[in-house]
Amino acid sequence: MNSSEFPQVTVLKDRCSGCQECLVRCPVEAITLDEFTYTVNVDESICVACRQCERTCPFAAIHVEGSLRVSDRVGAHLFEPADVRADLHEVRVGFLSDDELVAEANRCLNCPDPTCVRGCPTHNDIPAFIERARNLDFAGAREILSASSSMPEICSRVCDTGTQCEGACSFALAGDMPVAIHEIER
Residues 95 and 145 in one domain: yes
State the pLDDT at residue 3.
44
Looking at residue 154, which CATH number applies to its domain?
1.10.1060.10
Bigger pLDDT: 90 vs 118: 118
Amino acid at 91: V
Give per-residue burial for 65-104: e unless 16+ CB within 10 Å, then b: eeebebeebbeeeeeeeeeeeeeeeeeeebbeeeebbbbb
The one-character DSSP state at 73 is: P
State the pLDDT at residue 5.
81
Residues 117 and 28 in one domain: no
| Residues 69-87, mean pLDDT to the nearest whole number | 69
Band (pLDDT 50/70/90 cuts) for residue 44 is very high
CA 28 to chain centre: 12
Residues 56 and 97 in one domain: no
List strand residue ranges (DSSP E) for the chain, in order: 8-11, 31-34, 39-42, 62-65
Bigger pLDDT: 81 vs 159: 159
State the pLDDT at residue 1.
39
Among 20-34, 48-62, 79-93, 151-165, the least confident range: 79-93
How many domains does the structure of the chain reveal?
A: 2
Band (pLDDT 50/70/90 cuts) for residue 71 is confident
Residues 138 and 91 in one domain: yes
Residues 50 and 85 in one domain: no
Looking at residue 22, which CATH number applies to its domain?
3.30.70.20
Residues 90 and 177 in one domain: yes
CB–CB of 89/44 below 8 Å? no
Residues 61 and 87 in one domain: no
Residues 113 and 57 in one domain: no
Query: What range defines the domain where residue 148 resides?
Result: 81-185
Residues 49 and 136 in one domain: no
